[in-house]
Amino acid sequence: MMKKFLVLTSILTAALGAQANDYLNPEEVRTLLVGKKVLGRVPSGAMFDFQMNEDGTSSTSAAGGDTGKWRLNDEGYCVSWVKIRKGSEMCFKVTKRKLGQHFVVYPDGMHVALVRID
């Protein structure tokens, strides 16, 4: 029984790892996110939304509403909010999954949120 569990765990880990490394390049991130409303759900189940505008500004309903600035980097995008994280910038990658789903993830590969783009 333990051997079957280990094999299944290895298969799932390999499958998830392969998908998690399918990151979009910065221009794909721009095309996918800029000017669109992004709706998401974090692992805790909380819902959020944000928008990245063409002029480099951003807005979100999280934390009672906040505004900030975003920029592309070599691996995806970075954002700083006025209230969230006390203005500290945080960078993210975006990965595409099957059926058009996307995850916004920390650079270390930890999933942050499943998102839908409107």
86: DSSP letter: G
CATH of domain 2-117: 2.40.128
> Computed over its alpha carbons, how large is the radius of gyration of the chain?
16
pLDDT at 113 over 50: yes
- Are the C-beta atoms of residues 111 and 94 closer than 8 Å to each other? no
Q: How confident is the model at residue 46 (pLDDT cuts 50, 70, 90)?
A: confident
pLDDT score for 15: 40
For 84, half-sphere exposure in the C-beta direction (CA atoms, 13 angstrom radius) is 19
Closest CA to 74 of 35, 23, 40: 23
The continuous run of DSSP H or E covering 47 comes out as strand 47-52
Query: pLDDT class for 9, splitting at 50, 70, 90?
Result: very low
Distance CA 89, CA 81 (A): 7
pTM of the shown model: 0.74
Give the confidence band of 42 by pLDDT, cuts at 50, 70, 90.
confident
What's residue 88's pLDDT?
Answer: 96
pLDDT at residue 67 in the model: 97
Which range among 12-21, 27-36, 72-81 shows the weakest confidence by mean pLDDT?
Answer: 12-21
The ranges assigned to domains in the chain are 2-117
If you ran DSSP here, which 8-state letter would residue 24 be given? P
Of 25, 17, 16, 13, residue with least CA distance to 94: 25
Residue 18's pLDDT is 41
The answer to whether 91 touches 73, Cβ cutoff 8 Å, is yes
